[in-house]
Structure 1
Amino acid sequence: MSVLDLFANYRIVPIVVLHKPENAGKLADALVEGGLPAAEIAFRTQGAEQIVRTLADRGDMLVGAGTVLNADQVDLAVDAGAQYVASPGLSIPVLERCGELGIPAVPGAATATDVLNALDLGFNIVKLFPAAAIGGVSGVKLLAEPFPTMQFIPAGGVGAAHIKDYLGLRSVLSVGGSWMVPGQALGRGDFKEVRDRTAHAVRLANSVPKRAK
């Protein structure tokens, strides 16, 4: 099963900003116990590389690197074991470096121009960011109309209340968000809350029938 197949299978991906790398193992345990063995580690903390390595070394999770802004970060992420790289925007250097290393890349998009540029570069999956700012579910519907071959991963302002509506769209491959791994819970080391939020998200996702693409 490819990484992109795993996206479609899991349907939700926790986007994690963890400031305490020593808690990476507990984070992984909470996500797996909650029924979602996946995490996208945002590369905007000093310990991001270490966290990716800890999760990847387990061998039982889909581990991605998110908020990747340049080719150097791609190298760090891949060396740590990231299985895919995601960006908040469309960066040619990031995409080129991912291609050189043979690592799946998910470029970011917020406009029709972004989506068109991604298609021109050969990508048919984009992270739609920030999803809330472009109109949420309604915005995705409108943006998807002229691009029937594009699959979207909405992120940014996505929460539990939106999962079912997003996943009900044929154009949505999966959704990403941090509501399962809130900063306050991570900061105080409350991984029971992470596990419970994750389990709730999985139940919501599973309540939406998978649709043929």
Structure 2
Amino acid sequence: MPFKSARINEICALAPVVPALVVEDVRHARPLAEALVAGGLVAIEVTLRTPAALDVIRAMVDIPGCLIGAGTLVTARDVRAAKAAGAVFGVSPGTTDQLIAACEAEELPLLPGASTTSEVMALLEKGYDTLKFFPAEASGGVPALRSISAALPRISFCPSGGITPANAREYFSAARVVCVGGNWVAPAETIKAGHWTEIEALAREAAKLNS
């Protein structure tokens, strides 16, 4: 079976952490992305959780050295809007047939969400072998992921949800974890304050997590 996750796997492998950003003000977009890239995190997820999100993606996509994706994709409309804004990959908390069809129609590489063995198997049947394990901690954390990986060793994962610097390394010890998703590298208050040097330092530390 030709797998549909080749490009998303390449993107996930670029850095150990994919920041999941919630950005309220488009004026923060460029300096935030520049700080993350300077720290070594080059694949960036902008979650569609704020009215500014699509404008944030538009502001970030032409920054050299980074790949901007859209997160919290839920509907086909989200997919079309994200692609029109310039997103080069998508991330979803869960997965539906309509969402997959929209991403494939738009040729938007998707990191689809799954939290159970049955969901993982269903996505594997559809040709996806790199998945978002979400919500990671609430779904059993590292022990659950190890159990799923033992049963389905061909799947690669990006765990997200409750990942912190304190537990990230433990996730990397689980089988076939290519990266983790997290928002600790760009805390909301730090973004609002414009403390870009602090965010760059957090990114630099995060970029060492699987070394």
Shared topology, TM-score over 0.5?
yes
Q: Which amino acid aligns with 1:138?
A: P
Name the residue aligned to 1:161.
166
More helix by share: 1
Can you list the C-alpha shifts for 1:175-199, whole angstroms capped at 9, x where unaligned? 1110101112112222222111111
Asked if the contact 1:31–1:38 (Cα under 8 Å) also holds between the matched residues in 2, the reply is: no
Matched, 1:8 2:39: no
Deviation at 1:3, TM superposition (A): 4.2
Higher mean alpha-carbon deviation, 51-60 vs 39-48, is at 51-60
- Give the paired residue count: 206
How does the TM-score come out when normalised to structure 1?
A: 0.92
Deviation at 1:128, TM superposition (A): 0.5
Matched, 1:170 2:175: yes
**Within 1, Cα distance between the matches of 2:108 and 2:87?**
9
* Structure 1, gaps ≥5 residues long: 208-213
Asked if the contact 2:39–2:200 (Cα under 8 Å) also holds between the matched residues in 1, the reply is: yes
Asked if the contact 1:144–1:150 (Cα under 8 Å) also holds between the matched residues in 2, the reply is: yes
Q: Which amino acid aligns with 1:118?
A: L
Deviation at 1:203, TM superposition (A): 2.0
Asked if the contact 2:112–2:131 (Cα under 8 Å) also holds between the matched residues in 1, the reply is: yes
Deviation at 1:148, TM superposition (A): 1.2
Percent identity, please.
33
**Within 2, Cα distance between the matches of 1:5 and 1:135?**
27
Name the SS of the counterpart of 2:18 in structure 1: strand
Deviation at 1:106, TM superposition (A): 1.4
List, as ranges, runs of 4+ consecutive aligned residues in structure 1 with deviation greater than 6 Å.
Answer: none
Asked if the contact 1:68–1:86 (Cα under 8 Å) also holds between the matched residues in 2, the reply is: yes
Asked if the contact 1:14–1:177 (Cα under 8 Å) also holds between the matched residues in 2, the reply is: yes
Asked if the contact 2:131–2:155 (Cα under 8 Å) also holds between the matched residues in 1, the reply is: yes
Aligned CA RMSD, in angstroms, stands at 1.4
Give the counterpart of 2:77 among 53, 67, 72.
Answer: 72
Asked if the contact 2:73–2:92 (Cα under 8 Å) also holds between the matched residues in 1, the reply is: yes
Q: Relative contact order (C-alpha < 8 Å, sep 6+): which is higher?
A: 2
Residue correspondence of structure 1 range 199-210 to structure 2 within 5 A: 199-205=204-210, 207=211
Name the residue aligned to 1:33.
38
Name the SS of the counterpart of 1:144 in structure 2: helix
Can you list the C-alpha shifts for 1:54-102, whole angstroms capped at 9, x where unaligned? 1112242011100011011101111111111111001211110111111
